[in-house]
Structure 1
Amino acid sequence: MERDSQPTPTRRRLLAASAGLTAGGLLAGCAGQSPESTAESTSDGTTTAEPTTESTDTETTPEPGYTAELSPVGTVSLDEPPTDVFAHFPWFADMASALGHGESINNVWWDGTASTLDYFTAGFDDFDIPWRDKTGSYGFSKEQLYELDSDLHLVDPAWVTTQDNWDRSDIDEIADTLGPWLGNYYSNFNATPPETWADGYQYYTLWELFEQVAALYGERERYEALASVHDDLLGTVEEGLPAESERPTVAYLSVSTDLSAIYLLRLNAPGYFNAHTRPLGAVDAFGGEEWDGAFKQVDMEALLEADPDAILALWTVTDAVDFEAMTQNLRDDPVGSELTAVQNDRVYAQGTRWQGPLMNLFQTEMTAKQLYPDEFGAWPGYENGDVYPEFESDEQLFDHGQVADIIAGEF
């Protein structure tokens, strides 16, 4: 496609314009104005024309069939569910699969996404991940988006403009010629968005974000069914938690197999990166530490000084870290071997903070069992190559079979 050409407006371009994603709408929304605050937008995201002498009572603006509302882009409308979706970040690919539309994903970053989702959903019959071979590198160019020709880009344009060779005009061009943007990256841990997008930027939970994606796919009922399972899971967790004084101290870490790099993450921070740890209310062993960004590098001596009751080791059910070798290295390390969590065999495997709703359900159950075995049943452990344990129905903190049925459309 000639990037400098002026193609005839397509359905997707016209809908993107009505959604406020071209210069008039997207930029106004990012300056803190919601779609309702602009003179030409209505509450359902359609655009109304100024009355003319030729208008008749029978002329109305069609109401879009699939509409989402999300900061920073505002209202996005499609006239049919998207079939070619650029996801980039893993949580959106998880969402599409949860909604039964995994085949729509044409690109996702991180090739470990599919194998991690495989681990958690191994007990689901006939669950397929059609986007497993559609992974790409971190970041993307405008030329790549033209090649993919997506009708929806599930990426926060505020984040995109922090990448090389992207600015606001590029954002508008893609929305106008290909398809709209929808995403909210900085709700990951309620980080500060770029200054030019900060005015009016709002934060959302993982499941609020999922709800808006479901709306564009026309899958609100399926979303509601999954959200009900999630609500029940959180209720079960809240009801079963011990008193705060009886909860363990926990270090949430990213540890390389050879222990050469140890990074600390916040355990109970706001944002969807902590959607599976925060509800469990454990005591962050490094709760008094402050730092900028998502990670802070620490050494083994600092870890021993904090000496947590348990360690949650990120990425260890993925291909990124050899969990068995890593835990053996901790036992062999002169400092690591002194850790209470190592001595008590309480170093636990974890998946990814880049979780969508499916991973979130399983990771919440997994972590609850790891941190509170007396209350929620013991976690059986993990060895390289394992799949998620097949708990008996009375051991499950949510109904695994019900989730599989919802994905399959039986709800």
Structure 2
Amino acid sequence: MSNDNDVRHDVPTRRDTLKYGTTAAAALGLAGCSNLAEQSSGNGTPTDSGSYTATMAPVGELSLEEPPSSWVGGLGFTADVLTALGQADGAVGMADPQFWYTGFYEFLDGVSAPTSDELTQITTEERDTDPEVVYELDPDLMAIDPNILLSIYGLDEDEAQEIQDTVAPWFGNESRRKRFDGWTYWPDGEEYAYLSVPEYVTEYGALFGEMSRADALLDLYEPFIEDVRSRVPEESERRSMALVNGRYNPENRDGWVVYNPKSEIEKTWGKKQYRDLDVVDAFEGAYGGESSVKVDYEGLLEYDPDVIIFNFGITYRDFEGENYIDQQREHLKDDPVGSQVTAVQNDDLYVGGTPYQGPIINMFQTEMAAKQLYPSEFGAYPGYGELSADEQLFDRGRLADIVNGDIDNE
């Protein structure tokens, strides 16, 4: 591998033309910058000098002379953001491509993305990061928070610095959920801000020179979310829900895994649709400070949710050749105790979304959950698939136009 390293440092790549601006050099070089924790979305735009500038904690401000044409993503979130900005074809690798759910793109005319087989995975089965793979990919941008690789996937700080110095800058912020105890805070050791979906769209739009597309996207996305939130029924009319893991059950694990659907931190996006829909959690108070609780069939019946939504359901409909959602439904219906749960008796057992949701996926998943939970307001959920025009809660055509670059076609 050492010979590969020697070649890597000597051979010029396209990144040699993607020079850092002075602001980026300062932000990336000053590890002791104390205000990174306060940094959120800035006013990143192409500057007067022609550079593309954006700000995102933890790395701070980044300035490039031209937009990146290739990028490495994480577990699906930034990939969806960049797809929304017309950058899907720049994807060359991801931390784990199987967690980028691309099925919703099939419902948008002209929108496509690489398959997982077409993307290189930069982590191993042992959950380590392989820097050599990153060197070989030689992307223009590491569109991922380095701290997820440092905290979970075995990357060390020297490796993170070397990738930044010799391959591509980091530009990502892990805000799926609250960062756990033991989370690293590279490069300066300071806690840093969480970002909302619109803030990601704005900053990546600035860095990729796609601000017009970003603005058009937010002009569609934000009113849609606000409209859904304004139509949520009064609390007394909301059905209670349980967010249950779409794969694990008492037969293959030691119980049903039930997640807290409510987000402790407002800007996190992993369960955003449930926060926006102000759900009534059947298991509220049962988590003991954790993000989930494990129960048996009797436990499900004790809390007796009106609706069960299977988390990661869209992924587990077809995962490693198995339809785990059908299996989950069968287990519940066939068990003498499980079959007594209200959600089971009424067949309110639904496929849920992926937590790795950028703006496109979140729009589809918000629509999906709204219909599953509040059919009297939003219309019944007919099952996963394309909805007829009169069943849709947002304009597919307009979203497709934006992704495809037809932003003036309203």
Using the size of structure 1 for normalisation, the TM-score is 0.83
AA partner of residue 369 (structure 1)? K
1:174 and 1:180 in contact (8 A); partners too = yes
Deviations 1:187-243 (A, max 9, x none): 211324436666241111123123212221111111111112111211221221111
- Aligned pairs, number: 381
Structure 1 match to 2:338: 336
Structure 2 match to 1:72: 58
* Secondary structure at the counterpart of residue 297 of structure 1: strand
Deviations 1:279-329 (A, max 9, x none): 000111122133566544332222221111111102222223432232122
Over aligned residue pairs, what C-alpha RMSD do you find? 3.0
1:88 and 1:109 in contact (8 A); partners too = yes
User: Take 1:252 and 1:300, find their aligned partners in 2: how far apart are those partners?
Assistant: 15
Structure 1 residues 31-46: aligned runs within 5 Å: 31-33=34-36
* Secondary structure at the counterpart of residue 267 of structure 1: coil
Q: Paired residue for 1:236, among 227, 232, 249?
A: 227
Classify 1:395/1:121 alpha carbon distance in 2 versus 1 (closer, same or farther; 3 Å): same
1:117 paired with 2:102, answer yes
Structure 2 match to 1:323: 325
Classify 1:315/1:35 alpha carbon distance in 2 versus 1 (closer, same or farther; 3 Å): closer
1:274 and 1:353 in contact (8 A); partners too = yes
Structure 2 match to 1:267: 261
User: Take 1:3 and 1:167, find their aligned partners in 2: how far apart are those partners?
Assistant: 20
AA partner of residue 306 (structure 1)? Y
Where structure 2 has 5 or more consecutive residues not aligned to the other structure, the ranges are: none
User: Take 1:147 and 1:106, find their aligned partners in 2: how far apart are those partners?
Assistant: 11
Classify 1:44/1:235 alpha carbon distance in 2 versus 1 (closer, same or farther; 3 Å): closer
Where structure 1 has 5 or more consecutive residues not aligned to the other structure, the ranges are: 37-42, 47-60, 383-387
1:20 and 1:74 in contact (8 A); partners too = no
Structure 1 residues 6-405: aligned runs within 5 Å: 7=10, 11=16, 14-15=19-20, 18-20=23-25, 24-25=29-30, 27-29=31-33, 31-33=34-36, 63=49, 65-113=51-99, 116-118=101-103, 120-132=104-116, 133-136=118-121, 137=123, 139-163=128-152, 166-185=155-174, 187-192=175-180, 193-194=183-184, 199-256=190-247, 259=250, 260-261=252-253, 262-269=256-263, 270=265, 271-291=268-288, 294-318=291-315, 319-320=318-319, 321-382=323-384, 388-392=385-389, 394-405=390-401
AA partner of residue 83 (structure 1)? S
1:135: how far off? 4.7
2:142 and 2:168 in contact (8 A); partners too = yes
Which stretch shows the higher mean deviation, 292-301 or 71-80?
Answer: 292-301
1:336: how far off? 1.2
AA partner of residue 32 (structure 2)? A
Structure 2 match to 1:52: none
Q: Which has the larger radius of gyration?
A: 1
1:371: how far off? 0.5
Structure 2 match to 1:408: 404
* Secondary structure at the counterpart of residue 273 of structure 2: coil
Classify 1:125/1:371 alpha carbon distance in 2 versus 1 (closer, same or farther; 3 Å): same
User: Take 1:401 and 1:45, find their aligned partners in 2: how far apart are those partners?
Assistant: 27
User: Take 2:340 and 2:269, find their aligned partners in 1: how far apart are those partners?
Assistant: 33
Classify 1:289/1:16 alpha carbon distance in 2 versus 1 (closer, same or farther; 3 Å): farther
1:34 and 1:74 in contact (8 A); partners too = no
1:35 and 1:45 in contact (8 A); partners too = no
Classify 1:166/1:113 alpha carbon distance in 2 versus 1 (closer, same or farther; 3 Å): closer
Using the size of structure 2 for normalisation, the TM-score is 0.83
